[in-house]
C-alpha cells in the first residue's frame, strides 16, 4: 500500500509541475497583450537586446508560471557567446541574465 501511495504522490507532483509551467500558444499572445497581462514581445525583445548590444535572438518562449508570465530568450552575442535571459513578461523585469553553459 505504501508503494501505491508513493506512486500516486509522484504522479501528482509531476502533473502539478507540468501545470505550473506551460508554453503559451502563439495565437494567445495578442489577447494577453490587449488585456495588459504582458508587454508586447517587441518591447521585451528590446529590453533583452539592450543587455547584449549586437546580439541576435535565436529562440524565445512565453511561459505561464504559477506566479505569472515569463518570457525566456536565448541569444548569441557578437563574440558568439550564448546567453539565457528571462523577463517578467508583465513588467519587463530581468529575472535571469546568464551565459548558457
Domain CATH code at residue 30: 3.10.450.40
Q: How many CB atoms lie within 10 A of CB 61?
A: 13
83: containing domain: 21-99
> Which pTM does this prediction carry?
0.76
Decide if 86 contacts 48 (C-beta within 8 A): no
Q: From start to end of the chain, where are the E strands? A: 21-23, 56-65, 68-76, 82-88, 94-99
pLDDT one-digit tens code per residue, 30-67: 999 999 999 999 999 999 999 999 999 999 999 999 88
pLDDT one-digit tens code per residue, 59-98: 999 999 988 999 999 999 999 999 999 999 999 999 999 9
Phi-psi region of 83 (alpha: psi -120 to 50; beta: other; left: phi over 0): beta
- Residue 15 falls inside a structural domain: no
Amino acid at each position: 500500500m505504501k508503494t501505491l501511495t508513493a506512486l500516486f504522490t509522484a504522479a501528482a507532483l509531476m502533473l502539478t509541475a507540468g501545470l505550473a509551467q506551460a508554453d503559451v500558444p502563439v495565437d494567445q499572445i495578442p489577447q494577453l497583450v490587449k488585456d495588459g497581462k504582458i508587454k508586447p514581445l517587441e518591447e521585451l525583445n528590446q529590453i533583452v537586446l539592450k543587455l547584449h548590444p549586437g546580439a541576435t535572438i535565436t529562440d524565445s518562449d512565453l511561459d505561464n508560471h504559477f506566479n505569472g508570465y515569463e518570457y525566456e530568450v536565448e541569444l548569441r552575442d557578437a563574440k558568439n557567446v550564448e546567453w539565457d535571459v528571462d523577463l517578467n513578461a508583465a513588467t519587463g523585469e530581468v529575472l535571469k541574465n546568464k551565459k548558457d553553459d
